[in-house]
Structure 1
Amino acid sequence: MTKPILAACRREPTDHTPIWLMRQAGRYMSVYREVRERHGFLQMVKIPEVAAEVTLQPITAFGMDAAIIFADILPPLEGLGIHLTFEKGEGPVIHNPIRTPADIEALKPYDAETHSGYTLEALQIVRRELPETTALYGFSGAPFTLASYAIEGGGSREYRRTKAMMYNDPANWHKLMDRLTDMVINYLEAQVAVGCDVVQIFDSWAGSLAPDDFREYVLPYVQRAVRTTQERTKAPVVYFGTDMNGMLPMLRETGADVLGLDWRVRLEDGWAQYGHDVAIQGNLDPMALHGSWPEIERRAKMILDQAAGRPGHIFNVGHGILTETPEDNVRRLVEFVQNYRYQG
């Protein structure tokens, strides 16, 4: 039986617009909060049974067309020898950031089975439990976003240290990006091997770059990660970054099968810039899910009508679901999208 999201990735007709939502397993769900009371965040990621349980919660509750494994983009960095913790009120903290050529040379070889085996085991559990028509997403951070965290030591607003390495020490920048790209490929390949149907590359911070810098310092590594993963796994690859409106035509060059779109661009305008030979995932503003149901329905209908019944649209939020989102709004959105039929 065909999985609707896989058909959409191939731009084939589906009987409904498939839908899943970034951060669909998260704090807005009461069942998630119950699990979170018993475990720290990294514990939840690293105990396979817990990660699988949380991954399946929104599928059981809302019936999305895809599950995405409960994980985080940063723990694979631990396999390189990077010391990572999640601090209350601060988020991720890297205690030995990469700042010098010696730091790059000291990075250890990464192997997904050795260093991310907990996520691979969780994926296997989820794969066994998922309905036959529900797709399973794996994911990785993109090389640039992983480099930004590793260099800055955590989140950042201006990425001063990251850009300083790019501009002032390009040889070592490229050496680091090569290492991280190898890691991304290895990680994504391993996820497909244990049951993922689709893999997504999150480039959360690439929107901080000027388009020319993205092309010179980042795009070649995204292209290699996408191309190699496609060749080795035959699985569709999704590329998603936020606030990249000035780079949309360039993102077509990533080679990804599906391109994510945030809410800052109308779906039909984004498609026009990407080209119609690529699938699109997006793009409801996650804040819209805090509104009244008639307003959510209106906005969802606008997005669906912009797709004009064209194959290759996967409905999603333009970033992750926010913590305060009412569960019932998510339930009604999924039901509405799955039952909506374009009337044009």
Structure 2
Amino acid sequence: MAAAATEPVTASTTAAEPLMMRALRGDAVERPPVWMMRQAGRYMKVYQDLCKKHTTFRERSENVNLAVEISLQPWLAFKPDGVILFSDILTPLTGMNIPFDITAGKGPVIAEPIRTLEQVKQVTKLDAEGACPFVGESLRILRKEVGNEAAVLGFVGAPFTLATYIVEGGSSKSFAHIKKMAFASPEVLHALLDKLADNVADYVRYQADAGAQVVQIFDSWASHLSPQDFDVFSGPYIKKVIDSVKKTHPSLPIILYISGSGGLMERMAAANPDIISIDQSVDIVDGIKRVGSGFAIQGNMDPGVLFGSKDVIEARVLDTIRRAKSQGVRHIMNLGHGVLPGTPEENVAHYFEVARTAHERL
């Protein structure tokens, strides 16, 4: 039986903690922990088969049994050191009075984009347990299923990235609406970002209390801001989330990931996450030097490498681990972005096998 919703899930004391938790704490470990962003999903045949019966993304991510099954698919196949909840960064929006849908071929759709201060005032405080009980229940089950064999990860969208969907009405290539708001009506955008930051912090806490041992913040679209505008519209709100969470959950490891983060590394460090996830646009050694001491590092193999030969994959995995190790940092082996559709499953299996045996190969 799952733990009661109000009871924070704690790890068993009868077995060693997951490798990821020990590595992040700074314990001596024989190899870096390994997982992949988007490791559950469309490149796996078992997921494709499940989608034929359960055709909508929201059904798959908001039905507890399905979300747990999908989250566990890569763990059962490849035994990564991290099992991340199958969900979406937009999931909590319904609990903020922002209806949305995710449609095949189009992605997220918000039928009534928020573009005025009056609309921002209608955004409500998030009651995560009331709005997203399936998230908490899924995390509790995942903790019981994987035990101490892997860490369970939750994730959230950063305020600015959530705002892009809310203001644009969905995905965008130009981000014209949110940029217009930023420079023509900045008070509206700041009011929205402030509310989102409070709600995202509450959502992180909810996931942690339900069993997430690590939480990753995705600011997927922050690189579409200039560095100076990142300092106004993104960075302060990420920091607000992290600072708020740390007041109640000081030991919760928080990862910050920004796609295309080459111009933002130092600014990511200023938000003070525990782990900085470096994408493939940044040389990992340069990235480590740029963020400075005190951070664990995640990344950063190009997901395209997984289309290569097994020799190519092995060489790149080992090179990534070797180069991170040369800087003396705590390291989580990962991709620089999510695994790509069409990636051969046998190549993913080889990636994990090489990473798990890296200490024998280096």
Q: State yes or no: 1:126 paired with 2:142.
A: yes
Q: State yes or no: 1:49 paired with 2:58.
A: no
2:230 aligns with: 214
Matches within 5 A, 1:111-150: 111-150=127-166
Displacement, 1:81?
Answer: 1.6
Displacement, 1:249?
Answer: 1.2
Q: When the two structures are superposed, what TM-score results if normalisation uses the length of structure 2?
A: 0.92
Q: State yes or no: 1:326 paired with 2:341.
A: no
2:293 to 267, 276, 288: 276
2:9 aligns with: none
**Which of 243-252 and 143-152 deviates more?**
243-252
2:255 aligns with: 238
Q: When the two structures are superposed, what TM-score results if normalisation uses the length of structure 1?
A: 0.97
Matches within 5 A, 1:126-205: 126-205=142-221
2:50 aligns with: 35
Displacement, 1:45?
Answer: 0.8
1:95 aligns with: 111
Contact 1:230 1:237 in 2 (8 A): no
2:27 to 12, 15, 39: 12
Residue by residue over 1:118-141, the C-alpha shift from the partner in whole angstroms, topping out at 9 and shown as x without a partner, is 111111111110141310000100
Q: Distance in 2 between matches of 1:31 and 1:342?
A: 31
Q: Distance in 1 between matches of 2:302 and 2:139?
A: 28
2:39 to 18, 24, 45: 24
Question: CA RMSD for the aligned pairs?
Answer: 1.4
Contact 2:68 2:85 in 1 (8 A): yes
Q: Distance in 1 between matches of 2:131 and 2:264?
A: 34
Contact 1:207 1:243 in 2 (8 A): yes
SS at match of 1:92: strand
Contact 1:308 1:342 in 2 (8 A): no
Q: Distance in 2 between matches of 1:127 and 1:33?
A: 25
User: Which of structure 1's runs of 4+ aligned residues deviate more than 6 A?
Assistant: none
Q: Counterpart amino acid of 1:297?
A: E
Q: Distance in 2 between matches of 1:78 and 1:183?
A: 12
2:318 aligns with: 301
- Which structure has more relative contact order (CA 8 Å, sep 6+)? It is 1
Q: Distance in 1 between matches of 2:361 and 2:74?
A: 29
Residue by residue over 1:220-257, the C-alpha shift from the partner in whole angstroms, topping out at 9 and shown as x without a partner, is 11101012212212210000001121111121111100
Contact 1:174 1:217 in 2 (8 A): yes
Contact 2:168 2:177 in 1 (8 A): yes
Q: Distance in 2 between matches of 1:243 and 1:9?
A: 24
Q: Counterpart amino acid of 2:139?
A: L
Displacement, 1:7?
Answer: 2.5
Q: Distance in 2 between matches of 1:340 and 1:71?
A: 30
Q: Distance in 2 between matches of 1:131 and 1:164?
A: 48
**Which of 3-12 and 109-118 deviates more?**
3-12
Residue by residue over 1:148-193, the C-alpha shift from the partner in whole angstroms, topping out at 9 and shown as x without a partner, is 0000001111211111111111222111111100110111100110
Q: Counterpart amino acid of 1:339?
A: T
Q: Distance in 2 between matches of 1:102 and 1:181?
A: 19
Q: Distance in 2 between matches of 1:159 and 1:9?
A: 36
Q: State yes or no: 1:75 paired with 2:75.
A: no
2:6 aligns with: none
Q: Counterpart amino acid of 1:249?
A: E
SS at match of 2:300: coil
Gaps of 5+ in 1: none
Contact 2:261 2:282 in 1 (8 A): no
2:355 aligns with: 337
